[in-house]
Amino acid sequence: MAKFKPGESGNPLGRPVGIIDKRMQFNKLLQPHAEQLINKVIDIALAGDVNALRLCLERLVPRIKTEPINFELPQDLNDIGGLLGANAAIIKAVSSGAITVEGADVLSSLIDSHCNLMVINEYAMRVKALENTLQARAEK
């Protein structure tokens, strides 16, 4: 037998005020040794440890933000012809160097999401039509 009903919190009042989470406790423990730890990681990285090197570089060099994709998709993406046309346009743009492969991947992912939403919408309309038919038959 379950202790709590589905959807019911085991702690409805939440975390008590003043409780410090484990990350903050560890942070307080490490803070006095921060400079020594950082120097040690640097020494290990300089000695050739790849993980320590990665850690140092991730802190020094910010991640590169992706540039906006300057590419216009065909207007009609609501039928199979429009979707195929958009996909062909993306392939042509990659082959001509107008957009990167990564940009094409993002665009293709967006088209895929749009296609999935179209399918879901189509199913929803079909279910609604079936429900209306069944309701009309039940009323007769």
Over the stretch 31-72, which tens digit does the pLDDT of each residue have? 999 899 989 999 999 999 999 998 888 888 877 776 778 878
Could you tell me the pTM of the whole model? 0.49
Per-residue pLDDT of 2-31, as tens digits, reads: 576 777 777 777 777 878 888 888 989 989
Using pLDDT thresholds of 50, 70 and 90, give the confidence band for residue 109. very high
Length of the chain: 140
User: For position 2, what pLDDT does the model report?
Assistant: 59
pLDDT confidence of residue 133: 93
Predicted confidence at residue 1, as pLDDT, reads 52
Closest to 75 (Cα-Cα) out of 57, 61, 89, 65: 89
Block residue for tokens 């990285």: 45
Two tokens, residue 127: 């279910």
Which ranges of 1-140 would DSSP assign to H, the alpha helix? 22-30, 34-46, 50-60, 80-96, 101-139
Mean pLDDT on 101-106: 90
How many C-beta atoms lie closer than 10 Å to residue 70's C-beta? 9
Asked which of 58-67, 87-96, 107-116, 125-134 is least confident by mean pLDDT, the reply is 58-67
